[in-house]
Amino acid sequence: MTTQSFKLLALVFTLFSSYFTYASQELDSTVNQQLTPKHWSGLPLLADKASERGYQLPIPVGVTLFYNDIEADYIASDDFKVQVDGGLLGLRGPNDYLVPAEDVTITGRDKSVQLKLDAWVLPFWNVYGILGYTEGNKDIKAKLDNVEGLPCGESCDGVVLPIPISYTATNFGLGTVLAGQIAPIIGDTPFTIMAIGAVIKAKTDTTDSSIKTKLASVRIGQRFDVAGDKLAWFLAFSHQSVRQNVTGEYSFKGTELAPLMENVKFDIDLAKQETKNISFSLNYDFGPKNEWNLYAEYGFLNWNHLIIGMGRRF
């Protein structure tokens, strides 16, 4: 056989191999689409195109119940307004005072239960809504050293005005997720990248206070098959800003500060001291169709938070 004939035969063999490989892939894709009926919701849109490219899509509609516990430090975003009645500072009062923002320290802890409803509108785009209930507290400590107009003068230096606040709140919010995959660095498991954004508003029930939270997060991780179930890990870098206005009244009667002040009305705008954080999370999908899932997330670096959730997809 001549060299030219050998090359021609090799070319024909390659063409036939490519054709049969393509035909086999098309057949597999057609069989998979026929065996996997469309979801009752019709979501996600363009699901058939994603399946043709080999992507495994989650069940598009889900409900998840979360428990969230967060501890963080806050700052006063403007001067702390107090109105004092009774005691030395409230003589001939009530009298108004301003505590400089830099003399105010605030720590807080919130525990909440959140119900999340989400849907994959497109293979790469998820939208969700949140409804929740929160129990929280803020411990405000305001130094009186630099407050102008105090009748006690320098004798008030070193005095700290402590105002512990406890509240409950109901909240609602909207969020979105953009997701995609990149080729694996080691092995054959691709990386999943997600960009998440959300806005959550809350109104407290026990104090006259409103809370607005904005969240933006980038997550990267991998998803593995585990005996028919799915286990995923994610590392996230997050930006979270919290703005809260708190007004109310606190009584110092019966305390060591009663001779100085008896009743204090206050008004303060506060914000989270640090807005950047890192978190690590695990997600475990199980059940006949991997329709159930367990979720756990721990945040660290600038504040601590723990999120535990359980959900089901329909």
* pLDDT per residue as tens digits for the range 247-293: 889 999 999 999 999 999 999 999 999 999 999 999 999 999 999 99
Q: What is the mean pLDDT of the chain?
A: 88
Q: Distances in Å between the alpha carbon of 6 and those of 15, 250, 261, 296?
A: 14, 95, 102, 61
User: Half-sphere exposure of 265 toward its Cβ, with a 13 Å CA cutoff?
Assistant: 8
Section 60-83 average pLDDT: 97
Q: Residue 18 has what pLDDT?
A: 41
Tokens 């230096």 appear where? 157
Q: What pLDDT was estimated at residue 37?
A: 67
pLDDT at residue number 3: 52
Predicted TM-score (pTM) of the model is 0.83
- Residue with the larger pLDDT of the pair 235 and 245: 235
Tell which residue, 132, 270, 271, has the closest CA to residue 202.
132
Q: Which fold has domain 42-313?
A: Lipocalin (2.40.128)
Distances from the Cα of 238 to the Cα of 199, 200, 235, 275, angstroms: 14, 15, 10, 8
Three-state SS for 43? coil
Which two structure tokens, joined as six digits, stand for 288? Answer: 């006949």
Nearest CA to 144 out of 210, 87, 208 is that of 87
Provide the β-strand partners of residue 112. 68, 134
